[in-house]
Amino acid sequence: MASGSRRTPFVLVGLLVALALVVYGGYGRHWSWIGINGRTATLWDWLHLLLLPLAAVVLALWLRHRAAVERWMLAAAAAVAGGFAVVVIAGYTIPWAWTGFTGNSLWDWLNLAALPLAVALIPVALELRAEWGRRHTVALSAGAAVFLGLVLAGYLAKWRWTGFTGNTVWDWLHLLLLPLLVPVVIIPVLRPMALARLGVVDEPPEPTATPAEPVVAPPAPEQSPA
C-alpha cells in the first residue's frame, strides 16, 4: 500500500502535464506534432478513446471498494449521465460542432457504447444475478422487443437516423460478439471473485429435507381372558 501511495503524486503530475499539452499545445497553440485540435479531436473522438478505459476503471473500483460505494456516488453518476444526455441533445439540435455528434446514427452510437456499457454494467449484472426475478425478466424482454422493433424499422422503413440499412450479419457480429460474451463468459468468471471480496460464500442452496413421517407403533395384540 505504501508504494502505491508514493506513486500517486507522480501519476497526478503526469496527468496534469498531459492535460496541459492537450489544452494549451493542441487546442490553444495548434502544435501539429500533438495532432489534437478542434477538428481532429471532438468530444465524439474523445469518447472513442476514453469510454472503454473508463468502463474498466469503474469495474476495477467496484471490485476493490464495493463496500465503500455510497448513495451520493450513485447520485453523482446519475447527475453526470443526465448532463451528458443534455450535451448530446444540444450537440444534435443546436448543433455544437465541438461535440462531433452531428451525422452519427444510432448504429454509430451502438459501435461506440456497446462494449464499454457491457463492461461498466458488470457490477450491476453480478448483483442482479443473485436477485433475478420475474420483473427483471419482463424488463429485459421489453427492452429486447423495443430494440428488435427499431432494427426492423431501420431496415424495412429505412429510418436513416438508425443507420441500420446496409449493415449485414457480419457487421452485427462485429458489433455484438464481445458485448454478448460479457454476460455469458466474463460475469460467471468474475462472480466468485466479487463474492470472495465481499466475504460471501457462493454455495448452492441445500435441498430441503423432507420431514420424516412419524412411526406409528402397531397396536398391541389383544390378550384373551384366562
pLDDT tens-place string over residues 3-57 = 555 667 777 888 888 888 888 888 888 888 888 887 788 999 999 999 999 988 8
C-alpha cell belonging to residue 97: 460542432
Model pTM score: 0.75
Write out pLDDT tens, residues 171-212.
999 999 988 888 777 777 776 766 666 565 554 544 544 555
Helix axes 106-120, 43-65, angle to 10 degrees: 20
Residue 126 burial class via C-beta count within 10 angstroms: exposed 0-12, middle 13-18, buried 19 and up: buried
C-alpha cell belonging to residue 18: 498531459
Which has the closest alpha carbon to 60: 16, 144, 122, 152?
122
- Mean pLDDT value of segment 116-128: 83
Quick one: pLDDT at residue 184? 77
DSSP designation for 96: -
Quick one: pLDDT at residue 205? 46
C-alpha cell belonging to residue 75: 447520485
pLDDT tier at 223 (50, 70, 90 boundaries)?
low
- Mean pLDDT value of segment 104-127: 90
What does the alpha-carbon distance between residue 51 and residue 114 come to, in Å, rounded to a whole number? 10
Rg (C-alpha) for the chain, rounded Å, is 28
